[in-house]
Amino acid sequence: MTTEQNIPSFAWRRLVVLVLVAGVAGLLLWRDAYLQVITRDFLQYQGDERSLRVVAIPAHRGMITDRNGEPLAISTPVHSVWANPQELLLHRDYLPRLAKILRLRAGALERILAARGDREFVYLKRHVNPDVAQKITELGAPGVALQREYRRYYPSGEVAAQLIGITNIDDRGQEGLELAYNSWLTGTPGSKRVIKDRLGHIVEDVESIRSAKPGKNLALSIDRRLQYLAYRELKTAVMEHKALSGSVVILDVRTGEVLAMVNQPSYNPNNRLRMRRGRSRNRAVTDVFEPGSTIKPFVIAAALESGRYTPSTPIETAPGWMQIGRYTIRDTHDYGLLDVSHVIIKSSNIGASKISLSMDPKRLWSMYRSVGFGSITGSGFPGEASGILTNFRRWHDIERATLSFGYGISVTPLQLAHAYSILADDGVRRPISFVRVKTPPPGERVMPVAITREIRTMLEGVVSADGTGLRAAVPGYRVAGKTGTVHKSTAGGYAANRYIAVFAGMAPAAHPRLVMVVMINQPEDGEYYGGQVAAPVFGNVMAGALRLLDIPPDDLPPMQQAHAAPDGGKS
């Protein structure tokens, strides 16, 4: 046998290999055609389901400004950190570093993720600072991403905190005007379709589905200059007199607008970690108190309306006290014989009681109701209190007497200011507004013009050397107002040495433009009369307000009056 016959033939093997290679190539070509042509739509849909997402486009909340366009509340863009627990838990080595950036414990972070392991989205921290957001981006942890949101910022801080209110973490109004006008201020989020990578980062915007619509801006009636002025003076008075709290309200007589509303104590809405319980409420609207002698002008107005009294009608107040059943009513002094005007000027409880007892109780009740006592002002402020005014059918003689000098009835500072604005506006009652008014709204006449002017003349006498409110005087202006000093009610009666000091008034008295109420709750430094504690705050704030609003003086010598502005000033 030769050597060539012993060598096996491999030709058939080559053929098999070539056939196999050709077959595999054919299968690959067929598979490629199948994927690219036949099942293209299905696979595209499946791929999009894994990477294409519809995300919300946040819409910022409308800005709140004062009447002159100065910002009182604005929304600033911030980032929030979120994660996909299912993905992040697969890379636990990132957790310690992530927790350190977010100032969380690694164990606590892992428990948060494990508890929500069935979700694809969970917030890790809302509204982080820019430096934290930058560190999160640099870390690049799988399943962790940033989401753009908005955080509310209040430039005025504690000066307007209780009035403006606050929003929650989701930028929804929770207190004050933020809550009252939440639907107006809230924007409408938009949406868009995007492509995300496996880490949850947006790599491409595909299309816009709906544009975001920001909330509408809100222009308030508040004048920020007056707000700061009133806050400064009120805070100073509360601290100097060691009082528990206080409120100031300023109204525009012509329009019913609230130009300033401040309270003490307050809080910083930009730092809520130090916020104390109870400081968020707007005491000028939600808290009631007995108004004391500041209510006497309305008793005298009812008496003048009855036709039985004039400003010169004599009232005997000697010997400075009177007995009604088992109760004794007193004046601070024995004023003897007073006319009706001096019942106001001297603030005689005896004189007011005798006038009240001489009238049909329904007449006094109707007067109180007509100026708004016992009902809310309709301002729309959340939580506004209506105060207390019992029906006249339940009044006994002692109630008829005490109601004439402000006991047995409760009001808010806003209610009292609203009532005094009626005296200032020649008997017209206008609605209260926290929003800037372009055209003065129509009012309702509740008191004759002649009577309101007689009352204003009496109230001017209070702010004189002969009255109790001299410290409320403003140089160059005629001021009309009334002091009030009230024993605080306690369980079973009234405290002998705890008081509320009040002053309510208006200026310029000739043609009033501004009405103001000052209430100081429980001063404890030895001074407690309304004329000592509240009247100076009124005088200081009113002097500044009249100057800032460029309201011309009405109590200048003739030569100086000739050079004063002829119009009513500007707001």
- Active site (catalytic) residues: 293
Q: In what order do the strands lie in the sheet with 52-57?
A: 52-57, 190-196, 202-210
Question: Among residues 417, 405, 370, which one has the least CA distance to residue 253?
Answer: 417
Q: Given phi > 0 = left and psi -120 to 50 = alpha, else beta, which region is 143?
A: left
| Eight-class DSSP state of 435 | B
Q: What is the 3-state secondary structure (H, E, C) of 450-517?
A: HHHHHHHHHHHHHCCCCCCCHHHCECCECCEEEEEEEEEEECCEEEEEEEEEEEEEEECCCCCCEEEE
Residues contacting residue 2 through CB under 8 Å, at least 6 positions apart: none
CA 474, 475, 478, 482: dihedral to nearest 10 degrees? 30
**Cα 474–Cα 477–Cα 479 angle in degrees, nearest 5:** 70
Rounded to the nearest 10 degrees, the angle between the axes of helix 296-306 and helix 449-462 is 140
**What is the C-alpha to C-alpha distance for residues 517 and 250, in angstroms, rounded to an integer?**
7
Question: Among residues 84, 78, 92, 196, which one has the least CA distance to residue 144?
Answer: 84
Query: Judging by beta carbons within 10 Å of its beta carbon (0-12, 13-18, 19+), is residue 157 exposed, middle or buried?
Result: middle
Q: In what order do the strands lie in the sheet with 245-252?
A: 258-264, 245-252, 514-521, 493-507, 480-490
Q: And the tokens for 244?
A: 């528990």
3-state secondary structure of 74: strand
3-state secondary structure of 521: strand
HSE-CB of 251 using CA atoms within 13 angstroms: 34
3-state secondary structure of 87: helix
| Cβ 410 vs Cβ 388: under 8 Å | yes
**What is the C-alpha to C-alpha distance for residues 291 and 248, in angstroms, rounded to an integer?**
14
CA-based torsion, 420, 490, 242, 244: positive or negative: negative
**What is the C-alpha to C-alpha distance for residues 353 and 351, in angstroms, rounded to an integer?**
5
Query: Judging by beta carbons within 10 Å of its beta carbon (0-12, 13-18, 19+), is residue 458 exposed, middle or buried?
Result: buried
Q: And the tokens for 327?
A: 């109760």
CA distances from 102 to 66, 136, 153, 171 (A): 37, 9, 22, 22
